[in-house]
Structure 1
């Protein structure tokens, strides 16, 4: 992502609410800019996020003049004496400590946030960008929730894209509905239902091959190089082959997949990572074995996906020996 001081300021103003860094759950308050600055990973728990936030913010705050230091330590509940449940209570504590009124303290908190945000952006190493270069756009984050416990499989897709060129007006997407070779079935464009929840308008859909359906999504306004945009889609279709994979056309930095199998949980589930697309259908192709949790769910995550390769899972249906 492109790190901007304004993004850091916005996220710090969200973080200072409630209990500050002691808010539960903390992950809902920590946005992508703060995660990048503090080195917070997707798998970090509450305690680890608190440690990283405190370890990164405290040195920045300590570098400020004394009055700004006091108000910011209070704002984020970094000061032991100011670990109060409400932001207003911490503002009051700082006001009493500095012998100033609440309005003055609020102004100084905003001033201090602007300063530490600028410092944080300067010291963070430049983002290397996606591993695989792109001349149009790439996916910074793709999150999919797939449920299989109903007649038609349903997938919710949340995608954040970044423009790698100017005047990006449309996203070219596609979804493959593989039909078993021995079934003799054909895939039709009408087999796939698509709903756009936000982020654009579906302008066309057409068969690109015997089983791949191409989708064109027109964006609300053209993207300039470096700009981000988020979309949310819902797909519904019958799963004809027991696998679900992402085969990106454009580079993808992160693919996060949740699959809920419902009542019929497969005994054999295999991870597919940078596999050839045909291997997703091949039951003899090897992969790391996975186990569903007590809710009948599997969660996998992939980073730096190579365009043209498959990432996801394959399973053996519960009624197949």
Structure 2
């Protein structure tokens, strides 16, 4: 389905009315656009719809500024301190909380809803699969990328948190890029070693340049449990960029890149850009300068699924 931002905005404004997410006949108030971005299947009951919409909205509001995030969560009755019966009461609570009048709060709710809709549609249209129903998320991801080795390699340390019971497998993926656009990436271009935290149960080419990985955990996780994994990736390609495009929410992503000498002439920060823009030299970001060791270090918080975060460089 080709989802439009305008359609998502309209359906969200209908959903916030009355009891919001706690509306008795929620299935009748969730239209086709929301069903698409929340991956709601035909025939799902009200409880499943309520869970999927709640989880999707909570994930989408995460990158918003604090005031908009508070306003939007309260508008739908998702804020722990604003589960009032009716919309006008929830607006009043936000007004008191933020020390603003009701009219200002209504405007901020509208602004937040528009940004949520844009994020939802961007994830839907992303080259990565649409954000799934939330079953786990990454609390912390640290990647160290070494480009000064005979074969470039990346060490990935990830701490995940289960958002549901019986999480036995993690779906991961890595997109590789080659300087020769005429050549598709082969599965053999990527070597993966698991240092700890599970075992690879499947790897498959999801597209011409994306390798899907399934990591089987030592034992299933229960809701709220944390688990750490460590992986090493090696690929005989000289990447022009390295980005994280999360499928599941990521709270904190830290990236270290060590460049070969001489350092690239042009290194830029990519912060919440469309995945296609990560590959486009015309899409600019803040310039980065390597230190005396030829390294750059960047840090990101509250990554939105479907967007790209990392660095891009151009060789001298």
Kindly report which structure 2 residues correspond to 1:24-43, keeping only aligned pairs within 5 A, or say none.
none
2:204 is aligned to 206
| SS at 1:190 equivalent | helix
Q: Which runs of 5+ in 2 are unaligned?
A: 1-130
Give TM-score scaled by structure 1 length. Answer: 0.56
**Contact (CA 8 Å) 2:270, 2:312: kept in 1 or not?**
yes
Give TM-score scaled by structure 2 length. Answer: 0.57
Kindly report which structure 2 residues correspond to 1:127-206, keeping only aligned pairs within 5 A, or say none.
135-180=134-179, 183-206=181-204
Shift of 1:238: 2.7
> 2:178 and 2:260 mapped to 1: Cα distance?
22
Render the CA deviation track for 1:255-283: whole Å, top value 9, x for unaligned.
Answer: 00000003221121000011111111101
Instruction: Name which of 211, 214, 217 aligns with 1:216.
Output: 214
Asked which structure has the greater CA Rg, the reply is 1
Tell me which of the two structures has the higher relative contact order, counting C-alpha pairs closer than 8 angstroms and 6 or more residues apart. 2
1:262 is aligned to 260
> 1:190 and 1:161 mapped to 2: Cα distance?
27
> 2:152 and 2:239 mapped to 1: Cα distance?
12
| SS at 2:276 equivalent | helix
RMSD: 1.7
| SS at 2:283 equivalent | coil
Shift of 1:152: 1.5
> 2:187 and 2:132 mapped to 1: Cα distance?
31
1:232 is aligned to 230
Length, aligned pairs only: 187
Shift of 1:183: 3.9
| SS at 2:231 equivalent | strand
Shift of 1:186: 1.6
2:315 is aligned to 317
Shift of 1:286: 1.2
**Contact (CA 8 Å) 2:171, 2:213: kept in 1 or not?**
yes
Shift of 1:220: 0.4
> 1:266 and 1:179 mapped to 2: Cα distance?
17
Instruction: Name which of 249, 252, 256 aligns with 2:250.
Output: 252
**Contact (CA 8 Å) 2:152, 2:238: kept in 1 or not?**
no
- Structure 1 runs of 4+ aligned residues shifted over 3 Å read none
> 1:293 and 1:196 mapped to 2: Cα distance?
30
